[in-house]
Amino acid sequence: MSKTAPFPGRVAESLRRSTVQVKSDSPEAGGLGSGVVLPDNQVLSNAHVADGKNITIECWDGNAVQASVLRSDPRRDLCLLRCLTRLTGATVTFGDSNALQPGTPVLAVGNPLGFIGAVSTGVVHSVGPIASRSQLLRQPWIRARLRLAPGSSGGPLADLAGNVIGINTMMISGGLALAVPSRIVHSFLKRTDLTLGATIRQVQLTNGESALMILELESGGAAEAASLLPGDILVSGNGRKLESPDDLQQSMDESPAGRLYFVFRRGGQHQTRQVTVQLQRPGMNRAA
């Protein structure tokens, strides 16, 4: 006997119970936003929603608890919160944003304008970076044709099985909603504090592909210790193409024992070189 697809109403109700209201004194968020419940009394939301000093999480049943910021990444607009007392919401299940196709039906849950657990529906428009001068918009995004209102930021974007495939962030021109893909969320949640010790920027190679150029090195940092130099072009890390800063971060997050094998170019040469870098923790190079 074949399995039947979950009833959309039940999926929406389950997502509502896993979506919380995030209240903060953040002027940018207007004091209200959304978030999703994770294990261990943690909540995932947008960084711009939870950048205030005082943060309260209100669950679907009205239970309210105080929270503090565990980790924040303004570049990807993600924030991990820890609640000081037990949450009553159910934890979410994440899906694979890499499997999304244009036209995939999606559900968004949030707290727009203070309306708790509002649900909107739409379809995936596209997945990928946006051509823009803004560094934030140049990151990979899920673009969906659905409506988000102030207060929905930080809430879940899910498929019809209830799997969260993105975190809703904002509306852009053309009536498209942007969500951080679950692939990026996974990388953020398991992120370590290991660093390369270098300032990098995205550049375009002569073949039209993107890579990362080292602009500056931190004195005594991991990149300097591996004899990398400013101007070096990082092409891949542990076999992953380095086309954006997100690719580098994901390679660092997944590096075995903090070792990252780079393929790079130096001095305008087309021939590539290889080097293995042992990533460091911040301040490690300054330890006595």
Q: Answer whether 0.85 is exceeded by the pTM.
A: no
- SS3 helix, strand, coil % of the chain, rounded to 5? 15, 40, 45
30 pLDDT tier (thresholds 50, 70, 90): low
As a CATH number, domain 198-286 is: 2.30.42.10
Please tell me the distance from the alpha carbon of residue 239 to that of residue 252, in angstroms, as a whole number.
Answer: 12
Please tell me the distance from the alpha carbon of residue 142 to that of residue 78, in angstroms, as a whole number.
Answer: 15
Between helix 245-253 and helix 182-189 the angle, nearest 10°, is 50
**17-83 and 97-189 in the same fold:** yes
Indicate the domain borders of the chain.
Answer: 17-83, 97-189, 198-286
Q: Is the dihedral of CA 45, 47, 48, 53 positive or negative?
A: positive
161 pLDDT tier (thresholds 50, 70, 90): very high
Strands (E), 39-189: 42-45, 55-58, 64-73, 78-83, 105-110, 118-128, 141-145, 156-158, 164-172, 176-181
Q: What is the mean pLDDT of the chain?
A: 86
As a CATH number, domain 97-189 is: 2.40.10.10
Range 17-83 classified under CATH 2.40.10.10: yes
Helix residue spans in 3-93 (DSSP H):
8-17
Please tell me the distance from the alpha carbon of residue 236 to that of residue 250, in angstroms, as a whole number.
Answer: 12
Q: Give the pLDDT confidence of 230-286 residue by residue, as tens digits.
A: 999 999 999 989 988 878 887 888 788 889 999 999 987 778 899 999 998 766 544
